[in-house]
């Protein structure tokens, strides 16, 4: 978890089997979100939608560092090697707003080491939540 303010953190979820795209395929991809819920038996039903923070994938963080170095050294550089970008990431960074007294964010902040079930990506279409998006 990386905390950006008192009320906003980015949690990076990982999976042993799933991979996540490191870039958007098109403009409609910008509104995609994932449903997160505790995976444990006996937990009350808590399902929340959260948006992916594409710029916080490990590969995109690395690319920003390379771009920053190129920019800093632009006057003395004579050549820039081609930078390879990975198409998929092992982690899914989600922006999660902390709501004081909120049952899910309190659970997530206290038990982020636990297992969660994540489904998606979904897109908002005509006010309907939960419509599965087409693969990119």
In the structure encoding, which two tokens stand for residue 124, read together? Answer: 């908002």
Give residues with Cβ within 8 angstroms of 28, minimum separation 6.
123
Report field, pTM of the whole predicted structure over 0.75: no
Q: What is the DSSP letter of 56?
A: G
Identify the residue with better confidence: 41 or 7. Answer: 7
In the prediction, which pLDDT does 77 show? 77
pLDDT, mean of residues 37-58: 77
Looking at the predicted structure, is the pLDDT value of residue 130 above 50?
Answer: no
Which residue is associated with the tokens 């908002």? Answer: 124
In the prediction, which pLDDT does 104 show? 80
Q: In the predicted model, what is the mean pLDDT of the chain? A: 77
pLDDT, mean of residues 112-130: 71
For the domain with range 2-132, which CATH number is right: 3.40.50.2300, 2.60.120.10, 2.40.30.10, 3.40.50.12160? 2.40.30.10
55 backbone φψ class: left, alpha, beta (φ>0; ψ -120 to 50): alpha
Cα–Cα distances (Å) from 69 to 30, 65, 66, 74, 77, in that order, read: 28, 6, 5, 8, 10
pLDDT, mean of residues 93-120: 80
Confidence of residue 135 (pLDDT cuts 50, 70, 90): very low
In the prediction, which pLDDT does 134 show? 45
Determine contact, residues 50/56, Cβ cutoff 8 Å: no
Identify the residue with better confidence: 25 or 56. Answer: 56
Confidence of residue 112 (pLDDT cuts 50, 70, 90): low
């Amino acid at each position: 978890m990386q905390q950006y303010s008192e009320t906003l953190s980015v949690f990076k979820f990982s999976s042993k089997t799933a991979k996540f795209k490191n870039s958007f395929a098109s403009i409609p991809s910008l509104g995609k979100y994932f449903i997160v819920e505790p995976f444990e038996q006996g937990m009350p039903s808590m399902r929340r939608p959260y948006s992916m923070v594409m710029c916080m994938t490990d590969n995109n963080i690395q690319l920003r560092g390379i771009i920053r170095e190129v920019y800093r050294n632009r006057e003395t550089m004579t050549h820039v090697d081609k930078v390879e970008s990975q198409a998929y990431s092992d982690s899914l960074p989600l922006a999660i707003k902390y709501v004081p007294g909120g049952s899910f964010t309190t659970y997530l902040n206290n038990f982020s080491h636990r297992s969660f079930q994540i489904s998606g990506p979904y897109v908002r279409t005509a006010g309907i939540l939960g419509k599965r998006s087409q693969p990119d």
